Amino acid sequence: MKIPTEIELQAAQLRDTLNEHNYYYYVLDDPHIPDSEYDRLLRELQALEAQYPELMRPDSPTQRVGAAPLSAFAEVVHTVPMLSLNNAFDDDEVHDFEKRVRERLRVQEIEYVAEPKLDGLAASLRYEEGLLVKAATRGDGSRGEEVTQNVKTIKAIPLRLRGDDFPRVLEVRGEVFMPKAGFDHLNKQQTARGEKTFANPRNAAAGSLRQLDSRVTGRRPLTFLSYAVGVVEGAQLPNSHHDILHRLQTWGLPISVYMQVVNGVQGCLDYYQDILAHRDNLPFDIDGVVYKINRVEQQEQLGFVSRAPRWAIAHKFPAQEALTQLLDIDVQVGRTGALTPVARLSPVNVGGVTVTNATLHNQDEIIRKDVRVGDTVILRRAGDVIPEVVRVLADKRPDSSQPFVLPDKCPVCGSDVTRAEGEAVVRCTGGLICPAQRKQAVQHFASRRAMDIDGLGDKLVEQLIEGDLVKSVADIYTLSKEQWAGLERMGKKSANNIIKAIEKSKSTTLAHFLYALGIREVGESTAGLLAQQFGSLEKLMSATEKDLQKIPDIGPIAAKHIVAFFQQSYNREVIQRLQEVGVHWAAPTEQPSAATEQSLAGQTFVLTGTLSSMTRDKAKKRLQALGAKVSGSVSKKTSCVVAGEKAGSKLDKAQALGVKVIDEAGLMALLEQ
């Protein structure tokens, strides 16, 4: 049915009007019409779209809620990692941060952008040609969960950007959060329905954003503020962080009205005190303020360390504290065998959360603070940090109290415990025979970045351990179909699926296998280095600490743990059993020399565009294997930019800076040398 021209124009006018009023309401905080008038316009547009379905557009204000529930969230790999921030807890640490950046930049004073640190959930929004196409949570910084349908229900987030000067691709980073008023109203609704209330706005926001049914998210009072950008292609953004954020605002994205440009460390500290004084009157929860160097060129010059930028820091507010009684001290055994004393407390509310447990860290901390069962203690909870006992009120101590000492036997398996020289942690020596460690070891072994046994989640692992079906990770490969089918919520089909996944996992890589073993100090990166340098498990198992310390990034502590792990007979037995049941990996055709392996050491590469012969992630790993650093942004210090198909602004910037650029053929030639 042909739509009359006047109807098309009427619908377009309604869409534009509603989007404009969304901008006034959520971005400028300056509503031009009452809510009732907005609702009337929305109903008018809904009626037109119902009569003429062809009018429906993905960026229509009517399309924010209504998608069918998902069965699970898809994984999203962040092209530019969503980094966390280092923290400062007092003025001295802010001064230290300022000193470090001034010395690196060789300047006397620095201009910062300061804004409140929202207590919500970090998210990224990807716009293509101005249309919102994907939204994801931060996750671990490298990978998050796709929550596009849920994010579309948040009215503060535009489905289409305003204007026509936005980049072809624009990724916006920001915080999804729940204002205090909305949180209070939500909890009243939960109570009226007889449902569980939320502990605090942050938990409510996180739980709401991660609903599989976007209609549930749409009923929650979530909002959003932008604070950074990620991927940008097809346009050049301003050269200051402040101006970038204001550019986002012109495109319809809300930013903090409390953001300020300040000069030097004193400007930062004055801003901190001002926000702290008004903290309780703000419409949302915050746990500190964030300082970011304003000039983008200086940000790029400083770069990153580990998983945090050198050019920004979070200045946290003083931790919220409460008084309670310590009822008992339990000892937990972790995956690595660490014995951790945990305080069991009389329930107390700290920062909107009811706390019943707190870490006591280790025996040295217990002695230093003289913590005893029955003590009245001051408890601290700082943001997401695990609650801890700060201080004991000795004058309230019972006369019968006794000093607490960690046991000399593992409370789970009865094995001896040991404490390495120079370490504060006491550990169980039971290794993989300790049930407490077995559970964590199996979960780690089966995880996606280790052996990647699809379907073997925490619930199944718990059943395997509790049923005494698995005494070591090798037992996973010997369980029968009947044993799998006999587990709770498992049938023949599920049993077949898990057996197929286990069989598939037998074919792995040496790096994944080493990471799966759970050796202390051996994460993914170190496991890759070990596999690359030694080439075979046998060579690695016979390596000395001296051999290991010859490898870049492996220090004496990591070397000591690696050698100690392979010296234990029960660890060797488990490895032997794993190989006997068929776990294998391809042997390298030729062991490269140390010189070849690090032939790109000291060089920084940037990947942009699409590669046809391999993924960018694989290209990144191959470059890193040769000693190169792979960055997400181009600067004067970039050694080379690899430009694939449809390369964007990074290629433009490289050419403007005179940075060397190679295409995919050049990359392949480089890797094959």
CA distance 456 to 473: 12
Name the nearest CA neighbour of 127 among 23, 249, 214, 231.
Answer: 231
pLDDT for res 234: 92
pLDDT for res 594: 42
Q: For 84, which DSSP code?
A: -
SS3 content of the chain, % helix, strand, coil (to 5): 40, 20, 40
pLDDT for res 264: 95
Name the nearest CA neighbour of 351 among 393, 380, 311.
Answer: 380
The topology under which CATH files domain 320-396 is OB fold (Dihydrolipoamide Acetyltransferase, E2P) (2.40.50)
pLDDT for res 593: 44
Count Cα neighbours of 250 within 13 Å in the Cβ-side half-sphere: 11
Please work out, in degrees rounded to the nearest 5, the angle formed at the alpha carbon of residue 555 by the alpha carbons of 83 and 366. Answer: 75
Residue in the block written with tokens 């409140």: 116
Please work out, in degrees rounded to the nearest 5, the angle formed at the alpha carbon of residue 212 by the alpha carbons of 211 and 217. Answer: 40
pLDDT for res 623: 87
pLDDT for res 279: 87
- Candidate CATH numbers 3.30.565.10, 3.90.78.10, 3.30.470.30, 3.40.50.720; the one for domain 87-316: 3.30.470.30
How far apart, in Å, do the first and last CA atoms of the chain sit?
A: 63
Q: What is the 3-state secondary structure (H, E, C) of 214-262?
A: HHHHHCCCCEEEEEEEEEEECCCCCCEHHHHHHHHHHCCCCECCCCEEE
Which residues, listed in sequence order, are joined to residue 111 by a DSSP beta bridge?
263
Q: For 2, which DSSP code?
A: P
Please tell me the class of the 596-672 domain.
Answer: alpha beta
Please tell me the class of the 510-585 domain.
Answer: mainly alpha
Angstrom CA distances, 40 to 37, 44, 45, 377, 382, stand at 5, 6, 9, 57, 45
CA distance 462 to 469: 10
Active-site residue 117, yes or no? yes
Q: What is the CA radius of gyration of the chain?
A: 28
Residue in the block written with tokens 């790109």: 600
Sign of CA pseudo-dihedral 105, 229, 210, 71: negative
Residue in the block written with tokens 């941060």: 97
Contact call for residues 289 and 275 (beta carbons, < 8 A): yes
Name the nearest CA neighbour of 354 among 345, 362, 366.
Answer: 345
DSSP reduced 3-state for 385: coil
The residues spanned by each domain of the chain are: 5-63, 87-316, 320-396, 431-505, 510-585, 596-672
CA distance 275 to 267: 12
pLDDT for res 597: 58
* Residue 354 in tokens: 């009811």
Catalytic residue among 117, 316, 650, 653: 117
Listed as ranges, residues in the chain with pLDDT below 70 are 1, 25-27, 29, 35, 64-71, 306, 319, 351-352, 382-385, 432, 552-553, 588-598
Q: Kindly give the interhelix angle for 569-580 and 556-567, rounded to the nearest 10 degrees.
A: 70
Domains 431-505 and 596-672 share a fold: no
* Chain segment 587-611, per-residue pLDDT in tens: 764 444 443 456 888 788 999 998 8
pLDDT for res 1: 62
CA distance 618 to 312: 29
pLDDT for res 504: 95
The topology under which CATH files domain 5-63 is Helix Hairpins (1.10.287)
Which residues, listed in sequence order, are joined to residue 358 by a DSSP beta bridge?
343
- CATH of region 431-505: 1.10.150.20
Contact call for residues 155 and 224 (beta carbons, < 8 A): no
pLDDT for res 334: 83
Residues 6+ apart with CB under 8 A from 417: 339, 406, 407, 408, 409, 410, 426, 427, 428, 429
